[in-house]
Structure 1
């Protein structure tokens, strides 16, 4: 009995020591940025990832700064506002006023810049809605999304542009080769036709299949084979992949509408979001 008690005691000590917070010896401090405001600051909050900071100043102005201290946006919320708080997800600001007996809820709509230059695309270059999809030709979910995007283009022929970005997964043996083959087909004006065939045969991709599709589409086979091994095409794929990693893409397909990540890729949801975006653009 005494032995069991001793074992239990030592076990509790080990657990408590493991759970104890790290005891720091000290702290160094450096000024990362100094933000210059037109009015005295009243309150400040940051997003959970630390990428954005929101400063409430007198005169009721909330200023949004990025992690480099660059001003991104401003909004006037009323001079009686005293404090701001952020929800744990970093998607909403709560703006409180004791004098006004009110709480304003501000929805944060974050977006990113995506490079669409020199990238395969369908739809008008000046379309108000741009759908950028990071995809992989061996991915079954990517294959399912492709026909939905085609339907969107048919429904909004003058308003939507679809941009294709390569994000081949290392676990897919032929994904990068397929991406190179599609870009080689682009040099002969057949990217989207080749794209469709690759998605159709995503389970059975191989070097033989790449050549079969090229022959089926009437491509110049010698040029096609030379181009798909061109270092410039491989570099283009790598740049797309690096951009996707910088955007912290963890799963594919990854779809962005005007720089905003779209999680629900059902056709009905895409139509709803596009309609709302077109109303804003009017």
Structure 2
């Protein structure tokens, strides 16, 4: 009798579903259900979930995944019926079952930065904008200054340089120096003040900031008051938010007409500027 019970239990255990230890189940929740205005042949999504790419005959439509707003319409030849996206290369890859063709399309994010309230060096109405995210205690930012000066001298009528503050938390006086630079800008002395602070990046202190302002002949009472101005603090906070939104991970970060230029050198920066100028050439 006992043998029969044990045998029955063995058969029950053996016939039950087997789940390995730590196996994951699955739950789901519908987050979106919408009617598409187009019938895609195929689609792809960027790894960060920012963009969705719809392939339709003769075109790739790029939409913002959060807002579903149109980002771009990329014309391609008809006949391509499959699409994939490589985040590592920022590249669309289209293929055709019928012709066996493969097409790669390089993509580049273009960011828009608000220059209001900021000093602009060079051509105020230049067709090319070089936006630089930096802070006044950054040695690499200081090393970039001669190259930016070369840009001003080479393209006096075509390029404007916008300095945006992105102070690192590890730099004790970076926020204070950034606000001081905006206060100097309010008195029309940004450029010499900026250069003076950058030259003192490795010895930055409140004393250095004050001494530099005095050397520039600033109205010190107004200068000290403007450093506490909520408007200037708002400009600095906006710059920081824009830098984070653009994925800036290190400074200096240089953008040429909104496109991130990694590891800028004289060759790469001038080359990027020339490329943008050719787009606007008559």
- TM-score interval (norm. to shorter): 0.7 to 0.9
Shift of 1:25: 4.2
> Is 2:273 the counterpart of 1:277?
no
Shift of 1:96: 1.2
> Is 2:153 the counterpart of 1:154?
yes
Shift of 1:274: 1.0
Q: How many residues align?
A: 261
Cα distance change on mapping 1:176 and 1:81 into 2, 3 Å: same
Residue 163 of structure 1 aligns with which residue?
Answer: 162
In the alignment, the residues of structure 2 paired with residue 33 and residue 197 of structure 1 have an alpha-carbon distance, to the nearest angstrom, of 57
Contact 1:255-1:263 at 8 Å conserved across structures: yes
In the alignment, the residues of structure 2 paired with residue 102 and residue 72 of structure 1 have an alpha-carbon distance, to the nearest angstrom, of 26
Ranges in structure 1 where 5+ consecutive residues have no aligned partner:
1-15
> Is 2:66 the counterpart of 1:65?
no
Q: What secondary structure sits across from 1:223 in the alignment?
A: helix
Alignment of 1:1-282 (within 5 A): 23-31=24-32, 34-37=35-38, 40-57=39-56, 59-67=57-65, 68-89=67-88, 91-282=90-281
Pair member with larger Rg: 2
In the alignment, the residues of structure 1 paired with residue 33 and residue 175 of structure 2 have an alpha-carbon distance, to the nearest angstrom, of 40
Stretch moving more, 73-82 or 131-140: 73-82
Shift of 1:32: 5.8
Stretch moving more, 186-195 or 206-215: 206-215
Ranges in structure 2 where 5+ consecutive residues have no aligned partner:
1-19
Q: What secondary structure sits across from 2:170 in the alignment?
A: coil
Cα distance change on mapping 1:123 and 1:35 into 2, 3 Å: farther
In the alignment, the residues of structure 1 paired with residue 35 and residue 64 of structure 2 have an alpha-carbon distance, to the nearest angstrom, of 12
* Deviation sequence 1:156-211 (CA, Å, 0-9, x none): 11111100111111111111111111111111100111000000000111111112
Shift of 1:91: 0.8
Contact 1:35-1:69 at 8 Å conserved across structures: no
In the alignment, the residues of structure 1 paired with residue 135 and residue 222 of structure 2 have an alpha-carbon distance, to the nearest angstrom, of 24
* Deviation sequence 1:114-135 (CA, Å, 0-9, x none): 1112211112233121011111
Cα distance change on mapping 1:34 and 1:153 into 2, 3 Å: farther
Contact 2:117-2:235 at 8 Å conserved across structures: no
Q: RMSD of the TM alignment (CA)?
A: 1.7
